[in-house]
Amino acid sequence: MARIDQNSTLGGVRGAAAGLVISSNSQGWYARSMRAPSTPRHASQITQRHILCTLGDLWRGLSPEDRTSWSDQAADPDWKRLDWFGVPYSVGGYGLFVACNAPLMMMNVATLDVAPEPVFPAAPVIEDAELFRAADSASGSVTFSADLPGTAPYLRAYLTPAAFGSLSVRKWRRALDVLAAHNESDTVDLWRRCALSFGLPLVGQVWTLAAQVMDSSGRVSPFDSVTLVCAEAP
């Protein structure tokens, strides 16, 4: 899917023609090929769809006052996000409700009825990271400069080949996307899932790791990131 600068010639175009769909959402304009939607059957997508359906039901069950609290918080500049062109936008009340509660549901944590204040955890500082390749597996760990905070008990990590890297984590093609509870230690084993999207890493291949922590209100910290090289297993 291609993003379109809103100031370009295509910025005001809508609709489908010649196999191309041009549309827009809260993040801006985009173009994609026109195709029939697929229905993936693997477990992670089924789980994600169930979470989104459940959150829709929960949103409709909120009182008008609670829904207003989410809309009011979403209008706060501190909750705004940047689109692919660096333009800030508001996700809206329902979007903020989903953004905070979806990861909580993934961790089997109670969801929020009232929007939290935009007070975010501090970013974890990555001190070192290792990635090893054995004959048919990968392993490794990431070490932070201090114990991860108990006030933000969940860790999210992204791993991508450096060739696909970007200054924006949102653009990364991720081989690792882990959201898990941490035990407040300074070293975490993350790499068991690194082969899910790209297969096993190659010895000498350069990767980029980004990590952030999340509190029990679904508020996430900024990212810290490092570059690492896959080595042979010791």
Do 132 and 228 lie in a common domain?
yes
The number of domains in the chain is: 3
Residue 113 in domain: no
Do 133 and 226 lie in a common domain?
yes
Do 130 and 226 lie in a common domain?
yes
User: What's the pTM value of the predicted model, to 2 decimals?
Assistant: 0.72
Do 132 and 173 lie in a common domain?
yes
Residues shown for the chain: 234
Cα distances (Å, whole numbers) of residue 155 to 39, 68, 74, 93, 189: 30, 30, 24, 25, 11
Q: pLDDT at position 170, please?
A: 44
Do 148 and 204 lie in a common domain?
yes
Q: pLDDT at position 110, please?
A: 92
Residue 114 in domain: no
Quick check: 31 pLDDT over 80? no
Q: How far apart are CA 137 and CA 153, in angstroms?
A: 28
Residue 195: pLDDT band with limits 50, 70, 90: low
Do 77 and 99 lie in a common domain?
yes
Do 63 and 94 lie in a common domain?
yes
Do 153 and 217 lie in a common domain?
yes
Do 180 and 157 lie in a common domain?
yes
Do 71 and 20 lie in a common domain?
no
Residue 88 in domain: yes
Residue 135 in domain: yes
Dihedral sign from CA coordinates of 6, 7, 13, 18: negative
Do 29 and 60 lie in a common domain?
no
By mean pLDDT, which of 62-66, 118-122, 128-132 is the weakest? 128-132
Residue 183 in domain: yes
Provide the pairing of β-strand 187-188 with 138-144.
Answer: antiparallel
Which of 52, 73, 106 lies at the terminal end of a domain, its last residue? 106
Residue 116 in domain: no
Quick check: 173 pLDDT over 80? no
Do 181 and 96 lie in a common domain?
no
Residue range 48-72, pLDDT digits in tens = 889 999 999 999 999 999 999 999 9
Residue range 201-234, pLDDT digits in tens = 788 988 888 889 999 999 999 889 888 898 998 8
Q: What DSSP string runs through 89-143? A: E--HHHHHHHHHHHHHHHTT-PPPSSPPPS--PPPP-EEEEEEEE-SS-EEEEEE
Quick check: 179 pLDDT over 70? yes
Helix (H) or strand (E) holding 18: none
Distance of CA 188 to the CA centre of its chain: 19
Which segment, 7-11, 32-36, 117-121, is predicted with the most confidence on average? 117-121
Strand partners, 16: 21
Q: pLDDT at position 97, please?
A: 96
Residue 186 in domain: yes
**Which range marks the domain in which residue 26 is found?**
2-33
The answer to whether residues 139 and 157 touch, using CB atoms and an 8 Å cutoff, is: no
